[in-house]
Structure 1
Amino acid sequence: MPLPFLTADRTFDADDANDTNTDGVALPFDDHDQWRRPYRPGPWRVGASAVLLLLASFVLLAAVITAVAGAFSGAVVCAVFALTLIALALRLLRAGVWVSRHGLRRVALLSTSTVPWGRISAVRTAQQPVRWLGLPRTVQGQALLLVRQGKSEPLPLLTDHNGDFLGRVEAFDRATDTLEAWASEYRTP
C-alpha cells in the first residue's frame, strides 16, 4: 500500500531550475494545487513512529488476550489506547511543512496552521539557537524562518536539528532551497 505522505515526489536541485512544467514554473512538482511536503521525513521521525507502532501492536495483542479472558471492558480500553498510538504515529509521520499554490502549511503533532502566500513577507534561513529534536535543550544551528505580514516575530518552520534533518545537512539545504523557491514564486511582494 503506497503511503504518499512518506515521500517527496522529487528533490529540487540545479537541474530542476532549468525544467519548467506546463505553467512555466521552475518548481519541483507538476501539480501545484496539491499539498506537498518537498522533503522526505527523517530517520528520527520514522524511527519514533515505528516504535509507537510496535508498542501499539503489543497493546493490541494485550487487548485480544484480555478479550479472550473475558474482561471485555479492559479489552476495549486496550484497543482504544492502541488506536490512539496508531493515530499518533501516523500524525508524527505527517508532521512537517507542506506547500501548494494556495500557501504554506505547517503541520505539528497536535495542530495545523496554514498561511496564504499573500500574507507571507519572507521565507529565509538564519543562524540562531534551535531546539534539539524538539526538546527544551537548544543548540546553535540553522532555521528556516517564516516572516508573516503584520507580525514582528518570525515563525521557525524547519531546523537542522529537528527529527527530519538531524545529521542530514544536505537534505536540510535542499529543503530550504525548495521552500524558498516556492515562496519566491508565489508570494506577492
Structure 2
Amino acid sequence: MPLPFLTADRAFDEAAHDPALPFDDRDRWRRPYRPGPWRVGAAAVLLLLASFVLVAAVIIAAAGALSGAAICVGVAVLIITAALRLLRMGTWVSAQGLRRIGFLSTQTVLWAQVDSVRTAQQPVRWLGLPRTVQGQALVLVRRDQTAERRLLLTDRNADFLARRAAFDRAADTVEVWADEYRRTA
C-alpha cells in the first residue's frame, strides 16, 4: 500500500539538478523533501508500541474482559493516529500557497499573503525541544504581519538533523515555489 505522505514525489529525485518546480500537477499539495530518520524512527517506535497494545487487547478479549479490550483498541488507534500525524508534519507547497502542518494544527498561507521566504542564521530548537542551538531556518514573512516571522524549516529539526544537503535542497525548493507564485499572485 503506497503512503504518499511518507515519501516526497520521485520527481524531486529525478530533477535534483533542476530545483525549479519539477511537477506537472502543481495544484496538489506536496512536501518538497523526505521525512528525516528521526521522524520516521519515532513513528516506527509508536507503531511498535501500538502493535503491543493490540496484542494486549487480543489477550484481554480472550480472557473475557471485552470492555478492557475495547479500551486497549482505542488506545492503539490513538497511538497509530499520532504516528501518522507525526509522519505528516512539515511544510507543504502547492500552487495555492504554503501549508505548515504541525502535530495538532495546520496553517495555510496563500501566496498572495507571502512577502518573502528566505534562509536565515538564527537560534533554532534542537529536535523541537526547548534547547536552542545556532542553526539555519527557512523563514516566512507575511505581508499583513511584517513583524511576525514564521519558521518553516530548520536544519536541526527531525527531518534535517545531520542532513545538511537535504535542508539546502528543501529550502531552495520552497524559495523557488515562493518566487514563482508570489509573482503570479
Identify whether the pair has TM-score above 0.5, normalized to the shorter chain: yes
Q: What TM-score range do you get, normalising by the shorter chain? A: over 0.9
What number of residue pairs does the alignment pair up?
Answer: 181
Query: Which one of 156, 159, 163 corresponds to residue 164 of structure 1?
Result: 159
1:149 shift after superposition: 1.0
Establish whether residue 29 from structure 1 lines up as the match of residue 31 from structure 2: no
Q: Deviations over 1:139-186 (max 9, x none)?
A: 000000000112111000000000000000000000000000000000
Stretches of structure 1 that go unaligned for 5 or more consecutive residues are 18-25
**Structure 1 partner of 2:78:** 84
RMSD, matched Cα:
1.3
Counterpart-to-counterpart distance in 2, 1:99 and 1:130: 22
| Structure 2 residue matching 1:143: 3-state secondary structure | strand
Normalised TM-score (structure 1): 0.92
Segments ≥4 residues shifted beyond 4 Å: none
1:30 shift after superposition: 1.6
Counterpart-to-counterpart distance in 1, 2:159 and 2:140: 18
Q: Is the 8 A contact 1:59 1:79 kept in 2?
A: yes
Question: In structure 2, do the counterparts of structure 1 residues 117 and 63 end up closer, same or farther at CA, with 3 Å as the change threshold?
Answer: same
Normalised TM-score (structure 2): 0.94
**Structure 2 partner of 1:11:** 12
Q: How does 1:1-189 map to 2 (within 5 A)?
A: 1-9=1-9, 10-11=11-12, 15-16=17-18, 26-151=20-145, 152-188=147-183
Counterpart-to-counterpart distance in 1, 2:161 and 2:57: 36
Q: Is the 8 A contact 1:141 1:160 kept in 2?
A: yes
Counterpart-to-counterpart distance in 1, 2:100 and 2:110: 11
Same amino acid, percent of matched pairs: 69
| Structure 1 residue matching 2:99: 3-state secondary structure | strand
Counterpart-to-counterpart distance in 2, 1:53 and 1:78: 14
Counterpart-to-counterpart distance in 1, 2:75 and 2:16: 46
